[in-house]
């Protein structure tokens, strides 16, 4: 390695990590050696996994290998899991290799905290999930068997402290649509369990008219909903809440709570008790000045407390914007310049409902806001599909950033 060049390590190969690496290369050119460490070889467009669960998309079409695109830009790719971060030595370590850094950007996402609720999780529990291709395929195979029956009970929901509840909303409405197309919706019960204080809260006190839109949609679709739901355990055929109520199912999918990556939790003072990194608006750690973070790994307090805890979501769009801001601030640190605020950012979300879709945009994402857009229509489904295809191409070729609606 050339000792005169800055050593930058990016941890994570999803929305945050890849976009941060591309932005760092654009900002710093050849004055930096950039290494991306990711436990996944492929970038997965996670927002489309609910389509895969319904069998409407091939999961393989939602993935792009990331080694070649990074290599074309002179960015080293390491397929490994980070096991240790040593801020004192400024080193990141995998099982077999150690990487020194002048700056590190953590975009490692989070671990799925299935252990927080007994019986949760698709491998050792009874409720499916949707945060990897493997999980989506397991859910697809189980759901298809239930939908082939003449009748059934389906429970979709989220655990306390869950932050990414959007896919649960999509799935319950998409299943409703699929059953209607099969002419047997009237023989299936659909139940939605959410820790939110009301439908459409989304962990951010709602987005404009989104609560009313979602509540009306659930009423039209006859989807039973339970708000302030705190799941106590999942059994083989039922979800049990803390109030003692039980919801029987033939198929269940529950969004778990997140917790910070293990290597983050092991660094004293880096993160909050849940393992999420506490940062300044400039995306830099409050304790370690050369550690930056973006996306799900970041601690963002909710706008206000709720009876059952609901975490603030970090969408793919938010993660990308945070990652680009963090990369620009690293460049400003090395080259001189003004750092930008990476937390007061907008976010756009498209939630599919099977036969229609919701377009939600807020600037900034957390209230109070300067601008809000809430719309519904079939056109939004096609917009989500177009965005998925463009985004996969963007990862392959580092195309210009698209920001629908702003």
Residues annotated as part of the active site: 164, 349
Question: Nearest to residue 76, comparing CAs of 33, 44, 30, 13?
Answer: 33
Torsion of CA 359, 366, 388, 145, to 10 degrees: -80
Q: Are 130 and 36 in contact (CB under 8 A)?
A: no
The pair of structure tokens assigned to 142 is 């189980």
DSSP for 187-200? GEEEEEE-SSSSTT
Task: List Cα–Cα distances, 52 to 30, 62, 135, 283, 301, in angstroms.
Answer: 40, 9, 10, 33, 32
The phi, psi pair for 317, rounded to 5°, reads -65, -45
How far is the C-alpha of 94 from the C-alpha of 86, rounded, in Å?
A: 12
Decide: helix, strand or coil at residue 7: strand
How far is the C-alpha of 126 from the C-alpha of 253, rounded, in Å?
A: 9
Q: Is the dihedral of CA 134, 135, 136, 142 positive or negative?
A: positive
- Integer Rg of the chain from CA: 21
Paired sense of beta strands 188-193 and 224-226, if any: parallel
Query: Taking the CA of residue 340 as centre, how many other CA atoms within 13 Å lie in the half-sphere pointing to its CB?
Result: 14
If you search the block for the tokens 């599919």, which residue do you land on? 352
Question: Nearest to residue 224, comparing CAs of 249, 243, 207, 201?
Answer: 249
Q: Is the dihedral of CA 286, 327, 206, 158 positive or negative?
A: negative
How far is the C-alpha of 285 from the C-alpha of 106, rounded, in Å?
A: 10
Helix (H) or strand (E) holding 92: strand 91-93
């Amino acid at each position: 390695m050339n000792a005169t060049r800055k050593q930058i390590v990016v941890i994570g190969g999803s929305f945050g990590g890849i976009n941060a690496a591309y932005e760092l290369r654009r900002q710093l050119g050849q004055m930096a050696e950039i290494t991306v460490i990711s436990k996944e070889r492929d970038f997965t467009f996670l927002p489309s996994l609910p389509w895969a669960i319904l069998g409407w998309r091939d999961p393989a079409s939602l993935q792009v290998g990331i080694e070649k695109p990074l290599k074309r830009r002179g960015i080293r790719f390491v397929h490994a899991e980070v096991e240790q971060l040593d801020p004192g030595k400024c080193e990141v370590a995998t099982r077999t290799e150690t990487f020194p850094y002048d700056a590190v950007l953590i975009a490692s996402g989070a671990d799925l905290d299935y252990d927080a609720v007994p019986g949760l999780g698709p491998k050792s529990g009874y409720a499916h999930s949707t945060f990897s291709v493997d999980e989506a395929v397991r859910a697809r195979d189980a759901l298809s068997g239930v939908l082939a029956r003449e009748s059934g009970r389906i429970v979709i929901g989220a655990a306390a402290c869950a932050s990414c509840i959007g896919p649960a909303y999509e799935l319950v409405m998409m299943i409703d649509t699929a059953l209607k197309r099969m002419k047997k919706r009237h023989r299936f019960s659909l139940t939605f369990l959410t820790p939110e204080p009301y439908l459409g809260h989304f962990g951010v006190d709602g987005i404009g008219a989104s609560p009313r839109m979602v509540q009306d949609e659930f009423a039209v679709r006859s989807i039973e909903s339970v708000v302030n739901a705190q799941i106590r355990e999942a059994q083989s055929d039922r979800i049990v809440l803390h109030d003692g109520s039980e919801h029987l199912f033939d198929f269940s999918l529950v969004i778990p709570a997140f917790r910070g990556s293990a290597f983050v939790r092991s660094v004293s003072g880096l993160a909050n008790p849940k393992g999420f990194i506490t940062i300044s608006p400039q995306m830099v750690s409050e304790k370690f000045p050369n550690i930056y973070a973006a996306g799900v790994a970041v601690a963002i307090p909710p706008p206000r407390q709720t009876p059952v805890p609901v975490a603030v979501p970090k969408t793919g769009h938010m993660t990308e914007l945070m990652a680009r801001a963090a990369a620009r601030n690293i460049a400003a640190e090395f080259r001189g310049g003004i750092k930008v605020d990476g937390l007061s950012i907008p976010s756009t979300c498209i939630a599919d409902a099977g036969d229609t879709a919701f377009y939600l945009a807020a600037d900034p994402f957390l209230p109070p806001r300067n601008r809000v857009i809430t719309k519904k229509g079939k056109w939004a489904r096609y917009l989500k599909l177009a965005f998925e295809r463009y985004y996969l191409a963007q990862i392959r070729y580092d195309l210009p950033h698209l920001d629908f609606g702003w």
